[in-house]
Amino acid sequence: MQAKTFRLTMIALAVAAVAGTVYANIDELNAKPVPVTPVNAVSGAPSPVVMAALPDFSALVAKNGPAVVNISVSGHAKVAMTEMPQLDPNDPMYEFFRRFQAPGQPNGEAPTHGMGSGFIIRPEGVIITNAHVVDGASEVTVKLTDKREFKAKVVGVDKPTDTAVLKIDAKNLPTVTLGDPAQTGVGEWVVAIGAPFGFENSVTAGIVSAKSRSLPDEGYVPFIQTDVAVNPGNSGGPLFNLKGEVIGINSQIYSRTGGYQGLSFAIPIDVALKVGDQLLQSGKVSRGRIGVGVQALNQSLAESFGLDKPQGVLVDTVPEGGPADKAGIKPGDIILKFDGHTIQEPSELARYVSDLKPGTEASLTLWREGSEKQIDIKTTAAEEVAQANEVPPELAKSRLGLAVRPLSPQEGRQSDVDGGLVVERVTGAAERAGIQRGDVVLAVNGHAVADPNELREYVTKADKRIALLVQRGNSRLFVPVELG
């Protein structure tokens, strides 16, 4: 009742306002209108009136919409089985648990369903989408805009780039035109077509917010950041420029709620195509590796290594037996260039290295002890690097489970510590206690250590547990370790 009264009051006020306006201008009905000219607030000079026309995306959508597909998947996921409490059948709660217990699934699995988008790149039914859309699916169905549905074969999946290739049994299908992401600049309009929340062939638009974005745990992809509205179901769909060319695959959003909040990220189409070609040829992706761990540089780190500004990436780990170890690369080196490409971010190095086939020779420009140094290195396959990273049997059997090396002078200046042991590998008791690779062990039971043999002696003499003083980043903490 109050709400209705409020609305009627507002309507009455609006009518009164209009009536008042008419009354006030009765004597001016014959007056000629005076044109209003905008004036520059600073100079006072007249400013030209510019009417900016927003782009019309209808032709782009009409041409490319039929090549965008809706993908639905089904599969099974393992679930934790909950058993009915062991109660006496005469217990009053027995019937409650019997009736309301969730039914168990055979083999501890429950059916799952998902959805996403994709787009056709070849008329014989080759489709690109995201790896996370079809990963683990037992059945994939592709639906076209003309309502035809096809069972799709997953040709290959590449999780590092979140790219997958599907194949359906069809011919003469509409396809998209592929573009060059490098030719699209920040601030340009872009359009996404997909199936957010299952609403097929929905169109959203925005601009490119940034390029070459690095995201956590996504080292191989220089993402295109946009403000295009992207939601669950858009994954795997195309991102178009105004020419109607696909420049990316909508892959991720940044959100605190699970829904769109103004930040969406697309995989550049050139990155996806390199992966897609390998998946079509062999069903897997082969990448070059050099076996090195790196981190980004900031101003303080750069100055501590004698650089006047942050450039390159800092080597923090060099696994034993890998290509970098064999080439003589050391922790504390700064990689400035890889095969002629200037490096500014870890993701750039990962991308350039992975583009090379295993066994390819490459050159590195390093910054070491105040001067540049050239080193040649040969890439190897990921499996070989993984083997080089495997924990040696003697380390797995040790009481502590740490492989360490002395802290270098450069690392000491960087961490503002004198001496210590850098953790290069961790397993067993140390891993269970929370010790991480890259930690610096400063002391054992209050005794400073700077040599691996000292650490070994303290561990040998210890009974069941020791306390390690560890430097991690800018903080120090004692970590109790229950020895094996």
Catalytic residues: 132, 162, 235
- Do 131 and 71 share a structural domain? yes
Q: Which neighbouring-strand residues pair with 203?
A: 193
- Do 114 and 224 share a structural domain? yes
CA angle 29, 35, 36 (to 5 degrees): 120
- Whether residue 70 lies inside any domain: the answer is yes
- Do 415 and 279 share a structural domain? no
Q: Which neighbouring-strand residues pair with 298?
A: none
DSSP letter string over 159-212? Answer: GGGTEEEEE-S--S---PEE--GGGPPTT-EEEEEE-GGG-TTEEEEEEEEEEE
- Do 259 and 140 share a structural domain? yes
- Do 420 and 339 share a structural domain? no
The answer to whether the CB of 441 falls within 8 A of the CB of 469 is yes
Run of H or E residues at 213: strand 202-215
Coil/strand/helix, residue 22 = helix
CATH (domain of 364): 2.30.42.10
Count the alpha carbons within 13 Å of 468 in the hemisphere toward its beta carbon.
Answer: 30
Domain enclosing residue 436, as ranges: 398-482
Counting the structural domains of the chain, the total is 3
- Do 419 and 293 share a structural domain? no
Domain boundary among 224, 257, 283: 283
- Do 221 and 114 share a structural domain? yes
CATH (domain of 75): 2.40.10.120
- Do 278 and 298 share a structural domain? no
C-alpha to C-alpha distance for 134 and 451, rounded to whole angstroms: 50
- Whether residue 188 lies inside any domain: the answer is yes
- Whether residue 9 lies inside any domain: the answer is no
- Do 277 and 301 share a structural domain? no
C-alpha to C-alpha distance for 422 and 319, rounded to whole angstroms: 13
The pTM assigned to this predicted structure is 0.63
Domain boundary among 388, 414, 444: 388
Domain boundary among 264, 283, 302: 283
The answer to whether the CB of 431 falls within 8 A of the CB of 446 is no
CA dist 299 → 302, 309, 311 (Å): 5, 6, 9
- Whether residue 253 lies inside any domain: the answer is yes
- Do 202 and 138 share a structural domain? yes
Q: Which neighbouring-strand residues pair with 193?
A: 203
- Do 265 and 171 share a structural domain? yes
Tell me the mean pLDDT per 10 residues along the chain, length 484. 38 36 36 51 56 83 96 70 50 49 48 88 96 90 95 92 95 96 95 93 95 76 93 94 96 78 92 93 86 85 86 86 89 91 87 86 91 91 50 65 80 73 84 85 88 87 87 82 83
- Whether residue 228 lies inside any domain: the answer is yes
